[in-house]
Amino acid sequence: MNSKELFLDNLNNTLPDLKDEITITSLAELGITHVLHISDNPEITEFIPAVPHRAVREQDHRLPRVCTSTCLTGCIIGYNGISHDFLERTWDDTKYLGGYIIYGFAPEIVITPSTKLLRDQKITDEQWLVSYSPDTVKHVPVSLGKIFLNHVGMSRQDDSDEDSETNKRVQTDYELYVEVFEGYEIPWTLDDRLKAGFYKIIAKGLMMSGSCLNPNPYDITIIDQATYLAAKNLTASLLSYTIPPSMKW
């Protein structure tokens, strides 16, 4: 049996009612080379499918998985914690080094959950890596790049209708820096592909209106390594009076 048949056979024996709530697809069908996952741990060598501890109550908690996305925007929205990490976590927290590794996976199949299983799937374009054979008990990643947050700000959401409800909403704006390692490409959205190099990204209202599939007019600027490192060291100096932890990753 191929991977799709193996997974369906396993699902029919364990969770048959989920069969109509998932789609089995390949990276080629998604138009990408890797699905992505961000983590503040730079030393992960393998991921084992499990029910994520960050899963909200409305999500399905029965199918163990590794949560990934087709784009970096989806990873950030799905993680839903970069503002908290930047503003609240201290440099004494040795598990947080000031940024995130962008891990990539190239499995034979991924599982696309329905919005019944995952309410914001159409926004994050979340894809699940699951276990269905001895070879998929663990998923081995490659490191595609790094990302860190340099600035968090607030602004009023732009809307041409001054009386609209959205015009009265305040959005969070991010200044992000991304390094893409040589030989790889990382989709910021599915329309904005970042090739090897360094980038500064101004993402206004990312958590409110961002999406892998419906890109915002993000301000993406190619920068040199010196500018990237200067921004990284400045971020560390603003938050710490000791050795900048960002130098560790």
- How high is the pLDDT of residue 244? 45
Whole-angstrom Cα distance, residue 239 to residue 70? 32
At residue 41, does pLDDT exceed 50? yes
- Give, in order, the Cα–Cα distances in Å from 160 to each of 139, 166, 167, 203: 46, 10, 8, 19
pTM: 0.87
Rounded to the nearest 5°, which phi and psi values hold at 10?
-65, -40
Q: Which of 26-30, 113-117, 193-197, 231-235 has the lowest mean pLDDT?
A: 231-235
Sheet holding 142-156, edge to edge: 22-25, 110-113, 126-129, 66-69, 35-39, 100-105, 142-156, 170-189, 192-204, 219-223
Domain segments of the chain: what residues? 3-142, 145-240
pLDDT digits (tens, 9 = 90+) for 132-176: 999 999 999 999 999 999 888 888 766 555 555 545 578 889 999
pLDDT digits (tens, 9 = 90+) for 86-116: 887 655 555 666 789 999 999 999 999 999 9
- Give, in order, the Cα–Cα distances in Å from 198 to each of 141, 145, 147, 248: 21, 10, 10, 18
pLDDT digits (tens, 9 = 90+) for 226-235: 999 998 876 5
Distant-in-sequence, close-in-space partners of 124: CB < 8 Å, separation ≥ 6: 69, 74, 75, 77, 78, 118, 211, 212
